[in-house]
Chains A and B, each alone.
Chain A
Amino acid sequence: MSNATSSGTLTGSHYLDGDHACSEGAIAAGCRFAAGYPITPSTEVVERLAQRFPFVGGRFLQFEDELAASIALLGGAWGGAKACTVTSGPGFSLMMEHIGLAAITETPCVFINVQRAGPSTGLPTQPAQGDMMQARFGSHGDYRLIALCPNSPQECFDLTFEAFNMAEEYRVPVLVMLDEVVGHMTEKVVIPEDEELEVTERRWTKKPPGEFKLFAPAEGSLVPEMVKPGDGYRIHVTGLTHDERGYPKMTVPEHEKMQMRLWNKIVLNADKIVKYEAKDLDDAEVVVISYGITSRIAERAMKQARDAGVKVGSFRLITAWPFPEKEILQLSKKVKAFVVPELNLGQMVLEVQRIVEGRTKVIPVPHVGGTVHDPQVILNAIVGAVR
């Protein structure tokens, strides 16, 4: 790590696992506050932050549990720091409380979840993609957020970096949803020079106290600007339904106004947020929709299918949430079938089915987790789809 730049960015080519690459993505994005609690298979992320932060002016603290870590994160974020926490299934369940608080208080922050097989303690050291719906719906009430799914250590760096930028852009919690295999696989990770990394800074307001409202959208935007405590604005931040000043206002019209903006700032900006990787779609009759480690396994099945003359294409989700609804809808009008392998018993496939509305076949390829799919199972589904 001797080649870290004065900013802390570990510029250069490295051989890193996905967990460590997340830590480096966070540091490169300007994260200087992290709160954590140990949990397999995510602990390496905070271990590296604990090791690296004293050299880059960052503060890390291991808290007494995930409830504490996930709200200390919000305390750090409101203090003005770029902040993250890291966990896996059982801890992610505990953190739901503060994903909700982050959503309603519009706190820019990043949660990294290295998924393992559940429910409950499940298979602590083995992979799954079983938290995808929890990522979307896990905290009570209606809210929207952003969830990203890296499929390589390089993307762990890239998307963790991007997660911090998106958190600032939309004032939302952004979830980086790894799985155990991506978290623990070691590959080449290229970290750019600082000049090539576009960091989104917090949108500090230029309005003076008295004119500024912490929860009023900025002009031409659905997202409010921010201030820090200590700057004389005397802000109030509450998890209750609140007005634009942040004061509790528990009426139906105020609730609707607040809820709809929280909803729309993601829904109406989905085109700008959605990311995916498409391959061989031009002539595709079958499209495999996959994400995370499953996309790497599906690659082999797709190659074998192409070799056997099946016109198969790939649509890899990079943002799971918001879901690329428009793109899947368009594809559904021209392909014969979608094949959706995932390391759960059917989660993101429900979203595909919802959007496709029976226009074309949707073939789930579920797997309970603990291992990745056998590519042959995915291949069989692809071949079966055009038969």
Chain B
Amino acid sequence: MSAPVKENPVNKYLRMERMPSIWCPGCGIGTTVNCFARALDESKIPLDNLAVVSGIGCTGRVAGYLNADSFHTTHGRAIPFATGLQLARPDLKVVVYSGDGDLSAIGGNHFIHAARRNADLLVVMVNNFTYGMTGGQVTPTTFRPAIASTTPYGAFEQTFNMPMLADSCGAVYVARWTAYHVKQLAKSMAEALSKRGFRFIEIAAPCPTLYLRRNKLGEGLDEMKFYKEMSVIRNGVDTREVALDYRKEITVGKFVDRERPTLEDAMDQRYKEALGAKYVPYVSPGAAKSQA
């Protein structure tokens, strides 16, 4: 007799009624979501207190699959939506989950400002080095000279080193993993969830349908083998040294972990200092439940 089938422990973190997902076989996004579910499990954050905000694109669909209050917003604007939501609802844990095109191109300005002001957000960026949803165009993270549909003769621009960008703007937690590093990623996500302030995790992930195929790099599994062979864990390394390059070594690890007043704390502190007893602090509408 076979053993009773146990429910997958991540199921309760997902909207199972929406499965299967839209993601292609071999895509790395689902793997990161699995890690995120395990991080939620480990961090014991009540699901009711979690809000997930996504932008547009393949990774932009993550919000819709998580069994939390979730918002699928406009292209590039997940961070300012989340900043507004977090300021209005300081009782919530707000997570932004989006892709490299969404966060580093169209949303780049919001990214640097949220890091600068230390908005209390965990920002998870799945970096598949392309715009998947629209058919594989070049992004600010596509390496020279990778082929994309809009760089048919190879990319020619310098890429963003996103951990360095986040670090230089003041992020309090910066890490990078790949879709191969599931244990480390889940642990890193749990650690980041327990912190306050602008936290950034970049995850290199395969896009077999567009990026890998177009560049003749094999299947999703081949890319996982590549991540395994080429990744070097260098915790605490200077983020100026972690730039990625085409088919070169991938520096992963936790690069930054520091404390700094959050946007909300800084705002409250300033008003208290300037106005003293006359200051009337904001009361979260979350204090009263929806049901009368």
Interface residues of A (CB under 8 A from B): 32-33, 35, 54-59, 61, 63-65, 67-69, 71-81, 83, 97-98, 101, 204-206, 208, 226-240, 247-248
Could you say which of B71-79, B189-197, B252-260 contacts chain A?
Answer: B71-79
Shortest beta-carbon distance from A216 to chain B in Å: 15
Beyond known contacts A54-B278, A78-B85, A79-B88: 5 more, CB 8 A cutoff: A71-B81, A72-B83, A79-B84, A80-B284, A247-B64
From A32, A63, A238, A248, B282 is in contact (CB under 8 Å) with A32
Whether A238 contacts B110 by the Cβ 8 Å rule is: no
**CB of B109 within 8 A of chain A?**
yes
Beyond A54-B280, A208-B291, whether A64 also contacts B109 by CB under 8 A is yes
Shortest beta-carbon distance from B28 to chain A in Å: 22
Tell me the bound Cα distance from A208 to B74 in angstroms: 29
Tell me the bound Cα distance from A74 to B74 in angstroms: 11
Tell me the bound Cα distance from A61 to B119 in angstroms: 11
Shortest beta-carbon distance from A316 to chain B in Å: 35
A selection of 13 A-B contacts at a CB cut-off of 8 Å is A54-B275, A55-B275, A56-B280, A71-B84, A72-B84, A76-B88, A78-B85, A79-B92, A80-B89, A80-B285, A205-B291, A226-B290, A236-B71
List CB contacts (< 8 Å) of B234-292 with chain A: 263, 267, 271, 274-275, 278-286, 289-292
Residue picked from A35, A101, A229, most chain B C-beta under 10 Å: A229
Q: Contact mask B29-48 → A, CB, 8 Å, 1/0? A: 00000000000000000011
- B48: nearest residue on chain A (CB-CB)? A232
Beyond A230-B69, A235-B69, whether A204 also contacts B80 by CB under 8 A is no
- B119: nearest residue on chain A (CB-CB)? A61
Instruction: Tell me which residues across on chain A come within 8 A of B271, comparing CB atoms.
Output: 54
Beyond A33-B87, A75-B82, A206-B292, whether A101 also contacts B74 by CB under 8 A is yes
Whether B84 contacts A74 by the Cβ 8 Å rule is: yes
Whether B72 contacts A240 by the Cβ 8 Å rule is: yes
- B72: nearest residue on chain A (CB-CB)? A238
Whether B83 contacts A97 by the Cβ 8 Å rule is: no
Shortest beta-carbon distance from B263 to chain A in Å: 8
Shortest beta-carbon distance from B222 to chain A in Å: 31
- Residue count of chain B within 8 Å CB distance of chain A: 53
Whether B87 contacts A76 by the Cβ 8 Å rule is: yes
Shortest beta-carbon distance from A225 to chain B in Å: 9
Whether A234 contacts B88 by the Cβ 8 Å rule is: no
**CB of B67 within 8 A of chain A?**
yes
- B113: nearest residue on chain A (CB-CB)? A64
From A65, A76, A236, B64 is in contact (CB under 8 Å) with A236
Whether A230 contacts B64 by the Cβ 8 Å rule is: no
Instruction: Tell me which residues across on chain A come within 8 A of B285, comparing CB atoms.
Output: 79-81, 228
- Overall SS of chain A's interface: mixed
Tell me the bound Cα distance from A248 to B79 in angstroms: 21
Instruction: Tell me which residues across on chain A come within 8 A of B47, comparing CB atoms.
Output: 234
Instruction: Tell me which residues across on chain A come within 8 A of B286, comparing CB atoms.
Output: 79-80, 228-230
Shortest beta-carbon distance from A167 to chain B in Å: 15
Whether B64 contacts A248 by the Cβ 8 Å rule is: yes
Instruction: Tell me which residues across on chain A come within 8 A of B89, comparing CB atoms.
Output: 79-80, 228-230
- A247: nearest residue on chain B (CB-CB)? B18
Whether A33 contacts B84 by the Cβ 8 Å rule is: yes
**CB of B171 within 8 A of chain A?**
no
Beyond A58-B282, A81-B88, whether A204 also contacts B292 by CB under 8 A is yes
Shortest beta-carbon distance from B75 to chain A in Å: 9
From B70, B80, B88, A235 is in contact (CB under 8 Å) with B70
From B67, B73, B284, A101 is in contact (CB under 8 Å) with B73
Instruction: Tell me which residues across on chain B come within 8 A of A240, comparing CB atoms.
Output: 72
Tell me the bound Cα distance from A72 to B71 in angstroms: 12
From B76, B83, B113, B291, A204 is in contact (CB under 8 Å) with B291
Tell me the bound Cα distance from A72 to B274 in angstroms: 25
Instruction: Tell me which residues across on chain B come within 8 A of A55, comparing CB atoms.
Output: 275, 278-280
Shortest beta-carbon distance from A91 to chain B in Å: 14
Shortest beta-carbon distance from B14 to chain A in Å: 11
Instruction: Tell me which residues across on chain B come within 8 A of A97, comparing CB atoms.
Output: 74, 77
Beyond A54-B271, A54-B279, A234-B68, whether A71 also contacts B77 by CB under 8 A is yes
**CB of B179 within 8 A of chain A?**
no
From B63, B284, B290, A227 is in contact (CB under 8 Å) with B290
Instruction: Tell me which residues across on chain B come within 8 A of A32, comparing CB atoms.
Output: 282
- B69: nearest residue on chain A (CB-CB)? A229
Whether B71 contacts A237 by the Cβ 8 Å rule is: yes
**CB of B123 within 8 A of chain A?**
no
Tell me the bound Cα distance from A326 to B253 in angstroms: 66
**CB of B49 within 8 A of chain A?**
yes
**CB of B91 within 8 A of chain A?**
yes
Tell me the bound Cα distance from A248 to B60 in angstroms: 12
- B278: nearest residue on chain A (CB-CB)? A55
| 9 A-B pairs with least C-beta separation | A75-B84, A80-B285, A79-B88, A72-B84, A229-B69, A75-B85, A68-B80, A238-B72, A79-B89
Tell me the bound Cα distance from A272 to B79 in angstroms: 37
Whether A57 contacts B282 by the Cβ 8 Å rule is: yes
Instruction: Tell me which residues across on chain A come within 8 A of B64, comparing CB atoms.
Output: 236, 238, 247-248
Tell me the bound Cα distance from A54 to B77 in angstroms: 27
